[in-house]
Chains A and B, each alone.
Chain A
Amino acid sequence: MTLRTRVSREQRKRLWGAFTKVLACGLLGCAASAQRFYPDDPIWKEPAPVPVSTVQPQKLDNLIDFYKNTFHEKGERHRPGKTIPSAGMNTLGEVPDNAWYTNRQRPARMSLAQLAEGPNHTGPPSANSKWTVISAKAEGVTPGFTIRDGAHHRYLLKFDPKSNPELATGADVVSAKFFYALGYNVPENYPIHFRRDQLIAGEGVHYTDRFGKKQSLQGKHIDEMLRALAPNGDGTYRALASLYIGGTDVGRFKYYGRRADDPNELAPHEHLRVLRGLYVFAAWLNHTDAKSLNSLDVVVDEDGRRFIKHYLLDFGASLGSDSLYPKDPRLGHDYFLDWGPGLVQLTTLGFYVPKYARVDYPEEKGVGNFSHQAFDPNHWKSNYPNAAFENRLPGDEFWAAKQVMAFSDEEIRAMVHTGEYSSTEAETIIAETLIRRRDLIGRAFFSKILPLDDFRVEGDRLIFKDLAAVYRIRSEIAHEITWARFDNQRGELASVSGSADDRLPQSALSSSEGSYWAAKIRDGQMGKSVTVFVRREKTGWKVAGIEREGENAWGAH
C-alpha cells in the first residue's frame, strides 16, 4: 500500500532551496563558525512536521529482526575516539514534543488521576451492545480476538495464560500507563471482564484454527478458543482490550536507521535520545521485549498535517510477565543468545550460578518473576540487542533516570492499581518492586554525571537542584561555581574574575539583551561539572543550554 499526499509547489521549492544551500555549503566549506544558541532555544516543541508524501509500509519479520540484531551490529555505533552524541533533543538535553514523544510532565506534573487515566480517553468497549468478533487467532497458547463494539470502536482482546491469571493483562495495562506518563505514544489498554454471550461471530470472518485450518468463524469456534482460558469464579473472562490506534498503519519502526519516506526524521534512530533513553524505562519496567515488532508507525492527520507518528506497543512481556508464561528469570540479564555469559555457563558446567538464578521470586501468580534483587540498571538487557539501547550514553541515561526518579511512591502505587489485580498482595509486590528498581536506577545513573537539574535564574541567582540530594542518594554538598561570558558566535568562554557563587556576576547584570553567560558548577567529590548557559532577555534571564561533563563518555557502562 502506498500513501500519497500532496506537497505544494511552494513547499517543494522551499525544501529544494534549503537542500541545495546545505549541499553547496557542505561542498564549499563554511567560512564562518555557527552560533551555538538561537534566540528560541531551548525549544520544547519541534516545528510542525513536514507533510509526508509517499509512504511505503515497512514490513518486519520477527525472525529477521532477531537475526539482524543478534548477528549484526546494526546502525552506526560508537568507536574508540569517535563517540556519536545523541540527537533529537533541545539545548537542555530534553526531548521536545515531536512524533515520538510528548512532554507530559511539564510545565506541571500529571496529577494522580491523570497518571491513572493515562492514554485512556475513549473508554473500554461498550457493554451496552454485543461485541462482534471481526478476526480471531486460535494459534499459540492463548487466543486473541479483534472485536468491534456498538460504538464501532475496534479493540484487540488479549488474555492471560491459564496458569497465571492477570499476569500479562496486568503488565500490559500498567506498563502502558508508565510509558504514556514518560512521554511515549502508546495504545489505550483496558482491563475488562466479559461473559461469553457478549461475543458474537462476525459475518464472513475467516480465521485459522489451532490446527492451521482456515474456516469461517462461528460461535462454536469462539467457545473452543475460550476453553483455553481460565474463567473467573463468576464465569466472566478477564482480558486486555487494546483500542486500535487511529491513522494508517505503515509498519514498524526499527531501532536503527531511519525511514526513507519520513522527512521529519533528522537522525538515525540509534542516535535519538528518545530511543536511547528508552533503555532506562524498559529496564525499570522489565520490558524485555522492546523490539521493532512491538512498535507501530501510523500516518496521522493532526492540525491539518499528515505525518508519521511512532508508537510503542504490546507490554505483555513486561514486569514479571512474558505474555504466555512468567518471565524467564534469565531475561533482562542476558540476551537470548549472549555469547559471553553463554561461554561462562558452558565452561563452568553449570556450577557457576548467576545472580538471577538465585533470586527469590514471589509466589503470586499475577506477578510472575519480577524482582529488584538481581536488577543492575547498567547491565539490564532486552531479549536481543537493540542498537539504540547499546548506543546509549550517560546523558541519555540521566535524561531518563531523572524522569524515573520523579515518580513518587504514591504515584507508582496509583498507576499499578490500574492493573486491577484481584490480589492486593500482587499489587503491592509490583509497586514495591518498581519503587526499589527506581531507586537502583537513581543510584546507577546519577553517579555518572553530576545530577544537577531544574536550573533557573531568580533575581540575580542561579537556582538548581542536586537530584542526588533531593532523592537522598547522598547528602547535600556545596558546589564550586565559576562564571564566564560566552561568545555565542565563536563558542568561546571568557572567565569573569571574582565570581565564585550562584550570583550572576556584576558584568552580567549590566550586560545587554541577547548576551550569554555561563556558570560552571563543579562537584569536587565527584570530579564532574555542569555548565549552564543563560541568556539575557528583555524580561529577565533564561537558561539557554546545559552541558554536562561526561554525558558523552562512551563505555561508562
Chain B
Amino acid sequence: MSCAAAQQADSRAEQLQQQRAATSAAPIKPDTDVVEQTIKWVNDHGILTLFSRGWRGFVPTLGGLVNGSGFASGLEFLRADLRDGNFVIRSSARISTKLYQLYDAELGLPRLVKDRAYLDTYFRQRNYPQIEYYGPGPSSVKTGRSDYRLEDTTYDFSAGVKPHPRLRLGVTGGYLQMNVGPGTSREFISSDRIYTPRQAPGIDVQSDFLRGGVLAYLDLRDNPYGPRAGGLYYARFDYYDDRSVEKFSFRRLTAEVQQFIPLFNKKRVFVARAKTTLSYPGPRQVVPFYLQPSLGAADDLRGFRPFRFYDNNNLILTGEWRWEILSGVEGALFVDAGKVFPQPNGLNFARLEKSYGGGLRFRTPTTGAMVMRLDVAASREGVQFWFVFNDVFAAPQVRTGRELSPPPGRLP
C-alpha cells in the first residue's frame, strides 16, 4: 500500500482505486531482447517451417552422406501428400565440404492393398572422391591409408507385403553401375597406386551388376524415432551378378539384431546390437573391394577411422548405455567390438577389434528423433571424434516407399 494512497483513502476500496490509477499511468519497460527478436523474425518469416516442412515440397537437408565426407547439406523435394499419402515422390541433391555428391529419386506406393503391401522404385547416383582404403583384411595397417573415387548409379525396386504392421517381407531387385577411380586427396596416396588388383579386386576394372534379393524385417521397438524398448530383427539375402567381366558375382547374407532394454522408467536404456554381413562368392569369383563390407566410423567401430577395415565378411557387436541428462539430451557410454574376415566360417568372437567411448545425443523432445550425435571413442589406433546427424542404431534400409532420406554412413 503506498503512503500516498493511505493518506487520501478512507477505505480499502478507495485505496485500491487510487492505486489502479497510479499503476496504470506508470510506464512499463519493453520486455524483449535480440534473441527474442531473432526468434520472432525466424518464426515470422517461416524459417523453421522451411526446414521442417519446406516450401512447395522443397526442404533443406543436412548430412546424409558417408562418414568422412565432411559437412554435407542439400535440398530435398518431397511430396508425401499425393493421393492422400498413397503415392510418394522424393528426390534429393547433396554435396559436402569435400565435394562428395549424391543425387537420388524415388517413387513409392507405400500403402497398397489397404496398407498390406508396398512398392518402391529408386534411383541413385553417387560421386565420392575420397573414400578411404587401408588394404584388405583384418591385418591392414593404419599407415596403409589411401583413397579412391567411388562413382555408382543404381536403379532399384523393392516390393513386399506387411502381414502385420510391424513385419515386412519383401523382394528387391536392381541394376548397379560401378566405377572406381583415383582418389583426390592431397594428403594420401590414391589406392590404385599402392594396392594391386589381387589385394583390391576390382580396382583395375569396372563392372555392372544385376542384383536381387529377399528380406524380412520385424520392428518391435516402442518408438522408431527414438527407441527405448523392444527389438529390431532383420535378415536379408542378395545375389550380385557381375554383368561385365564375370569375375565379381557373389551372394550376400546380412543379419542384424537390435535390442533395447529399458531400465528405471526408460530413463536408462541398455542397447545391444549384433550385425554381420557374410559373402559367398561363386566359383572362381571374388567380391570386389568396393562392395566388401567395411568397419570403422561413427556407426560401428567408433574408435577407428572411417572404412578402416575391409573384407568379404564383417561382424560388429555394440553395447551402449544411455541415460537422460536433460529433456532431449542423453549421455552414452559404449563399447564396440568387431572384425572383418575373409571366409564366412570366421564368424566367431576371436580377435575382435575393440573401441570404447562416450558421447551426447540431442533429440527432439517430442518424437525423440535424433538431431545430432557427438561421440568420442578410443581404440588401439587412437581417439576419434564424431559429430553426426544420425543414430548409431539406425534401422536398416528397407525401402517401402516411405524413405525420407538415403541411409547415411554406409557404402554398399
Chain A residues within 8 Å of B, Cβ to Cβ: 14-16, 18-19, 21-26, 30, 32-35, 38-41, 43, 46-47, 50, 61, 63-64, 67-68, 71-72, 74, 90-91, 209-213, 220, 224, 254, 257-258, 260, 262-267, 324, 328-330, 334, 336-338, 342, 345-346, 349-350, 353-354, 356-359, 361, 369
Contacts and interface: CB of A to CB of B under 8 A. Distances in A.
A353 B358 CA distance: 18
Given A38-B11, A50-B24, A350 B323 contact: yes
A22 B35 contact: no
A263 B24 contact: yes
Interface of B: 1-25, 27-28, 31, 33, 35-36, 39-40, 43, 49, 53-54, 79-81, 84-85, 264-268, 321-329, 331, 333, 358, 365-366
A357 B267 contact: yes
Nearest to A258: B28
B325 A345 contact: yes
A67 B39 contact: yes
A346 B361 CA distance: 12
12 contacts: A16-B21, A22-B18, A43-B12, A50-B17, A64-B36, A64-B39, A211-B85, A264-B20, A266-B16, A345-B331, A349-B321, A349-B331
Given A43-B13, A329-B265, A357-B265, A18 B36 contact: no
Contacts of A334: 326
B15 A357 contact: no
A267 B84 CA distance: 53
- 10 closest pairs, A vs B, by CB? A350-B323, A34-B6, A25-B4, A211-B81, A263-B24, A357-B264, A30-B3, A18-B21, A357-B267, A336-B327
Contact of B4 (A30, A67, A267): A30
A329 B81 contact: no
A381 to B, nearest CB: 12
B17 A47 contact: yes
Nearest to A267: B23
A34 B7 contact: yes
Contacts of A39: 10-11
Contacts of A358: 264-265
Given A18-B22, A224-B84, A337 B265 contact: no
B349 to A, nearest CB: 26
Contacts of B22: 18-19, 22-23
A295 to B, nearest CB: 16
Nearest to A98: B16
B53 A212 contact: yes
A64 B16 contact: no
A79 B361 CA distance: 37
Given A211-B85, A342-B325, A353-B268, A19 B25 contact: yes
Contacts of B325: 342, 345-346
A41 B12 contact: yes
Nearest to B78: A211
A67 B35 contact: yes
Contacts of B31: 68, 74, 254, 257
Nearest to A141: B366
A267 B329 CA distance: 38
A349 B324 contact: no
Contacts of B12: 38, 40-41, 43, 90-91
A266 B2 CA distance: 11
Nearest to A354: B267
B324 A353 contact: no
B20 A266 contact: yes
Contacts of A324: 366
A329 B263 CA distance: 13
Given A328-B327, A350-B322, A32 B17 contact: no
A24 B4 CA distance: 8
Contacts of B329: 342
A26 B79 CA distance: 66
Contacts of B323: 345, 349-350
Contacts of A257: 28, 31
Contacts of B24: 15, 50, 262-263, 265
A90 B1 CA distance: 11
Contacts of A342: 325-326, 329
A185 B249 CA distance: 74
Nearest to A140: B366
B40 A64 contact: yes
Name, among A265, A350, A359, the residue most crowded by chain B CB atoms within 10 Å (CB to CB): A350
Given A39-B11, A61-B39, A22 B4 contact: yes
Given A21-B4, A266-B16, 19 more contacts: A16-B21, A19-B25, A22-B5, A23-B22, A24-B4, A30-B6, A68-B31, A72-B33, A257-B28, A260-B27, A265-B24, A329-B267, A336-B328, A342-B325, A345-B325, A345-B326, A349-B331, A353-B264, A359-B265
A354 B264 CA distance: 9
Contacts of A361: 265
